[in-house]
Amino acid sequence: MKNITFTSKHYVDPEFYPKPASQNIPEWFTKMQSYGGFGNSKESVILEKRADQSGDPNATIKKCVPVLDAITAGYILFTPSDVWVEVPENDHDQTYAARGHGFKVTSHSHGQVGKHPSVPKSKDVPKFNNPWMIKTPQGYSVLISLQCTTQMDTLTAFLRLLTQTPTRKK
């Protein structure tokens, strides 16, 4: 595995250091049976390996290598602060605030993201600034996204691709 380092110019409690996703597998996934299904009720669930009438095995997504790869790939960046969101009665402008070392919430102006379908008209979009500087080996990029197992109805995250600027040889 290539060496990836995380540094911060601000103090961050070790509890919130980035950790490999393979060490943060969701509990619902670890508790899931490897085989089961063919029905929507508990009575019809078969927990041993079988095939249905068509010959398809009854494996759950726990046996799916691409799902396991998606859950265990990369690192988890934790929010090292509580984030408060105030929504006024008119729901026009939400206010975001964070309290913590090196973590703050700023915004992208509407002009920067206004064409995105989930951006309300004439509103700025909150930007969660993590405290980490991420160093990767030459030629590698960093893709920042929500964890694939995260479901949020009230917040949409934009994917960010960070690439290294090639260093000039002197």
Q: Which positions ≥6 away from 28 have C-beta within 8 Å?
A: 149
Element (H, E) at 156: none
Q: What is the pLDDT of residues 15-55, one digit of tens each?
A: 889 999 899 888 888 988 887 765 555 555 555 666 556 55
The residues spanned by each domain of the chain are 5-18+77-163, 22-72
Residue 165's pLDDT band, with cuts at 50, 70 and 90, is low
Cα dihedral angle (142, 143, 149, 153), rounded to 10 degrees?
Answer: 140
Query: With contact defined as beta carbons under 8 Å apart, do 51 and 58 qualify?
Result: yes
SS3 68: helix
